[in-house]
Amino acid sequence: MEEQVVEMVGRAFVDHYYNLFDHDRSALVSLYQPASMLTFEGQKIHGVVDISAKLNQLPFDQCRHVISTVDSQPSAFAGGVVVLVSGSLQLHGEDHPLRFSQMFHLIPTGQGSYFVQNDIFRLNYG
């Protein structure tokens, strides 16, 4: 895949992902599959059902992600894209945003879109 296309795929995915997260979180279920994996602050969660449950049960309802950087590369898996995101997460009613890093490994669905095979999220303290 051309470098520019990979960058576009990564950026478009990231915009879509955090837009859903902040405005329609239950719809994130559409981006995962049974083989998907999420590691959220060290907790490992497998499969679309449990991942969706985790994301919808986080202890905050309203939040806003502000993206600082998005870097994408083609992965070794044909058509896959790895993405590293850095940014901050503003929780409703909290004064200070939380810095975070998140990586995604996106795999083509074969229907012109991508699903999340790997998702690792960490808050950055200190």
Interface ranges with its own copies (CB under 8 A)? 3, 35, 37, 39, 42, 44, 68-69, 71, 73-77, 80, 82, 84, 86, 88, 99, 101-103, 105, 107, 117-118, 120, 122, 124-126
Q: Which two tokens stand for residue 2?
A: 């051309």
Give the integer Cα–Cα distance in Å for 42 and 54.
13
Q: Does residue 4 come out as left (phi exceeding 0), alpha (psi in the -120 to 50 range) or beta?
A: alpha
Choose between 27 and 35: whose C-beta lies nearer to its own copies.
Answer: 35
Choose between 27 and 66: whose C-beta lies nearer to its own copies.
Answer: 66
Choose between 28 and 107: whose C-beta lies nearer to its own copies.
Answer: 107
Q: Could you tell me the maximum CA-CA distance found in the chain, to the nearest angstrom?
A: 43
